[in-house]
Amino acid sequence: MYTHEFQAKQVLKRYSIPIPPFHVVSTMEEVEALMQKSSLQQAVLKVQVHAGGRGKAGGVKLAKNPQEIHQAARELLGKKIVNRQTGPEGLVSHQVLITPLVEIVHEYYLGITIDRRQGREILLASAEGGMDIEEVALQTPDKVLVLPIPFGRELRSYHWLRLMKTMGWTGTLVEQGKQIVNGLITAFKETDATLIELNPLVQTSKEQLIALDVKLSIDDNALFRQPILKGYFDPSQVSPREAQAQQHDLAYVALDGEIGCMVNGAGLAMATMDMIHYYGSSPANFLDVGGGASKEKVAEGFKLILSDPKVKAILINIFGGIMNCETLADGIVSAASELEIHIPLVVRMEGTHVEQGKKRLQESELNIQIAHTFSEAAQSVVKAAKMRGSHGDSC
């Protein structure tokens, strides 16, 4: 899960990462109130969206007087940012962060993430931070230091030496840098992060290191033990269908094909998508309702699929294990009758009580096509979608 910059800053402040003071506003009235009670003269204003590259997309503005602060806030509140990181639909900024303007002497990059190949956390550091770090990493990878973080989470003296050399930190910057890196390592562990970035971490004209921009992503699988961070979820920053799926604990990924899929088990869901491709079509989504899917989950899954106008036919591929086929068939029948499905529905079932399950489907009044094998199911649904496509009707 992504967090907003202001949320990440709130979190990292607790780990002795130096963060300049900031305010978050969501209306012009709030800007007015802030300007009346503070003595803010010069500020940087930044859109709050779940994407980086805001500076280059016009989402970061420097204001040299109160009038410019008002002007920038008016421009940024409600602004839509569209870049490679937001995707073509873009993301709207409902909040704007306002922070005093800092004089920058140097911009650094500092980050921690997981290297899955090594199976460990790595520290990334570069003296060429700022808006072009991706370019730096691509063109001159030797300018980015990559240090594996030891399992005890304490850097060794040779790690520190390499880090200081890369960053060019001497004098008072050495201690400040150490405190920041140690804070990041602890924060990474305690927040169950998958990524923390300070970019830029800057040196000010007063020889201080401070983090001007902060990014924090949390492992979704750890959110159950991170109640505060879980509360940071912002549905306005994900597609409506993905937000709905998250609410009902369904693993859903929107894709751009025409076959809606509902499957129990991630492996089976992947195989189902492969089979749809194999027979000449493509899936509109990945949806894993889980091994112990209840009737309610099946109903929510249906609603998600049906709300996607691209879907021309639905394939349900179920393996009855934890939940037997009969119970699942009941769930499908009741959800399908409630929702009035007007597009072809193909069901393939296998596993415990499969005969009873198929019987339930046959006995229902619904127009369900029962497939007896995986390939038959995939072929039928692709054929049904193609026929529908050629008739040119949609629901």
**Partner from ligand GDP, Mn ion, none binding residue 183, C-beta < 5-8 Å depending on class:** none
Q: What residues between 201 and 230 interact with Mn ion by CB under 5 A?
A: 213
Is 9 near ligand GDP (CB under 6 A)? no
Give the contacts of 301 (CB within 8 A, at least 6 positions apart). Answer: 250, 262, 287, 289, 293
Distance CA(337)–CA(365), nearest Å, equals 9
Is 106 near ligand GDP (CB under 6 A)? no
**Partner from Mn ion, ligand GDP, none binding residue 300, C-beta < 5-8 Å depending on class:** none
* Residue 197: active-site member: yes
Cβ pair 287, 241 in contact under 8 A:
no
Q: Return the SS3 of 160.
A: helix
Distance CA(149)–CA(385), nearest Å, equals 51
Q: How many CB atoms lie within 10 A of CB 129?
A: 25
Q: How many CB atoms lie within 10 A of CB 247?
A: 11
Looking at 127, 131, 223, 271, which residue binds ligand GDP (CB under 6 A)?
Answer: 131
For ligand GDP, the closer CB: 65 or 373: 65
Distance CA(201)–CA(110), nearest Å, equals 7
Window contacting Mn ion (CB under 5 A); options: 11-19, 178-186, 199-207, 283-291: 199-207
Question: Least Å distance between CB 214 and Mn ion?
Answer: 8
Is 107 near Mn ion (CB under 5 A)? no
Cβ pair 53, 91 in contact under 8 A:
no
* Residue 109: active-site member: yes
Distance CA(255)–CA(310), nearest Å, equals 10
Pull the structure tokens for residue 277.
Answer: 């491709």
Q: Which of 109, 121, 258, 300 is labelled catalytic? A: 109
Is 199 near Mn ion (CB under 5 A)? yes
**Partner from Mn ion, ligand GDP, none binding residue 54, C-beta < 5-8 Å depending on class:** ligand GDP
Residues at the contact surface with Mn ion, assessed by CB under 5 A: 199, 213
Residues at the contact surface with ligand GDP, assessed by CB under 6 A: 44, 46, 52-55, 60, 99, 101-102, 104, 107, 130-131, 199-200, 212-213
Question: Which positions are catalytic?
Answer: 109, 197
